[in-house]
Amino acid sequence: MVNAGARVPTVARRLVRSTDQVDVLVELFDATVDGDEVTPAAPGEVDVRLSGPDNVNVVSVVVQEADPDVADPDLRWVDAGTTVLTRSGTTDEAVHEGRVAVGPTGTERRIVVEDAEPGTIEADGARVEATSVAYREVIPIPAAW
């Protein structure tokens, strides 16, 4: 059943990793699509949704922009902003979602989706609360988005 008030994305990029049951969905709403050409209604924004089982994790999305002065394709990325997604659901069926500002169109950008799981570690002989990265995915953002 579809919620009558639910927004339907025009364009979506989905990445499903069955080994760890994580589903990452990056959506663009209210866009015009003509063949391979995508023109967003609200340039510079995407909706990110991550779903799957978790342990009350915290999911953040880091927007990175390429530094044109750095030639190395792995080292040229500069953080431009971070958004923590809103979590809902249970540990069996959690959903993390939010709108992420990805900067101006026409620039080389990507998002890094990072899922941090709570736990404890030993530090100076005592157990302390900490987080560790359970999942990280790098997703290029098309120039038109």
Question: Exposed/middle/buried for 50, CB within 10 Å: 0-12, 13-18, 19+?
Answer: buried
Residue with tokens 């023109």: 39
pLDDT at 17: 52
pLDDT at 8: 55
Residue 73 corresponds to which amino acid? P
CA 12 to chain centre: 12
Q: How confident is the model at residue 77 (pLDDT cuts 50, 70, 90)?
A: very high
- What's the length of the chain? 145
The fold of the 9-141 domain, in CATH, is Immunoglobulin-like (2.60.40)
The structural domains of the chain, with segments of one domain joined by +, span: 9-141
Task: Render pLDDT for 79-128 as a digit per residue (tens, 0 to 9).
Answer: 999 999 999 999 888 888 888 888 776 778 888 988 888 888 898 999 99
Entry pTM: 0.73
Task: Render pLDDT for 24-35 as a digit per residue (tens, 0 to 9).
Answer: 666 655 555 665
Helices (H), the chain: none
